A and B are shown apart, each in its own frame.
Chain A
Amino acid sequence: MKILIVDDEEELASTLAERLSLRGIDGRYALSGDEALRLATEEHFDVAVLDIKMPKLGGIQLKQRLQELRPGMRFLFLTGHGSDRDFEAGVTEVGEKYYLVKPLDIEQLIAKIRDLLRR
């Protein structure tokens, strides 16, 4: 299982990737939409975990670009808040079930990843 985490908060993205790796999940990270697109061009990822609010390319727009590039890729969204406009937009995009609010519970993240891959 290979996961791509995309968040402009480097310490968050890198630590999440490390914690996934400690659990036997191949976790990689990117700090921007452009970097994520480059990585996804070079490698296959099963799931991308996208922060909604990022400079230039936000999570919703990035999902569309990644889907064009890798039609089989699944998505989870991260947000700082559970009640703002971005959240509503993301829920419309992937459903509330595949949305995570910061700060995260890694076991919940992994459960959602596994659930996505079973679909």
Chain B
Amino acid sequence: MATRGPLFAPADMRFFGQVSAAVTHDVKNVLAVIQENAGLLEDLCGMAERGRPLDVPRLKRIARELQQQVGRGDRIITSMNRFAHSVDEDPKAVEVSGLLEMMAVLSRRFLAAKGLRLTTVPPAPAASVDAPPFGLIRLLWFCLEHTAALGAPGKTLELAFEVSGAGPAFHIRGFAPPANGLSALLSTESARALCATLGATLASRPEAGELVIRLSPPCVGGTGPAPLTQPRPTGEER
């Protein structure tokens, strides 16, 4: 398995910057909502001081909204922290449920800009994959980005992790299958380079609107480091 190099490639830096900037926008929105709700509380208290009865159910709704925003902010910051650490971590057992949650949080704004949302299907029971965290995130993001560009009839993409006889794999589903398949995407230099980092392969089932990111088995459940394998050629999987 590849380890971190001494320096990240410019594309890695660009990716890190883009994701970080998008996340700060989300944090700003959380702060703005908290600010407005705190301001509204102040407004209502001021009106009560001038004789208008306090609307207690309204106050409770505002308090709930504040708590929800704090929870939202916490999820965003936890995900950003995890993402930031992925850069300074060597290959390790990456817990999949947390990874999927992080992908959902980090990609929310990017997908919303395309009118899409992401649902995740974590493995049951819990699983982990041995991988360089940053490389794995980069590959998943790359796949999400390109499948999102195709659009999704149901406006929702699904990112799932499943283990089958063929080994562990992430699956992206729900995008609009392109008429000419995903061959062009799967054979790009970027796709090959990202897969090489992980010993992963990409395959598509275009008729099902599904992209499969297959990892080199065995690498589930903390059973030890995955063997370093050469990436197989990418292509259509039917």
Q: Which residues of A contact B (CB under 8 A)?
A: 8-9, 11-12, 15-16, 18-19, 22, 53, 55-56, 80-81, 84, 102-104, 106
Contact = CB atoms under 8 A, between A and B. Distances in A.
A81 B28 contact: yes
Contacts of B43: 19, 22
A104 B36 contact: yes
A103 to B, nearest CB: 4
Interface of B: 21, 24-25, 28-29, 31-37, 39-40, 43, 47, 65, 69, 112-115
A9 B27 CA distance: 12
A81 B21 CA distance: 10
Contact of A81 (B24, B34, B65): B24
Given A16-B36, A103-B34, 6 more contacts: A9-B32, A80-B24, A102-B32, A103-B28, A103-B35, A104-B35
7 contacts: A9-B33, A12-B36, A19-B39, A55-B112, A102-B31, A104-B35, A106-B39
A81 B39 CA distance: 21
Contacts of A102: 28-29, 31-32, 35
Contacts of B40: 15, 18-19, 22
A104 B113 contact: no
Contact of A80 (B29, B37, B113): B29
Contacts of A22: 40, 43, 47
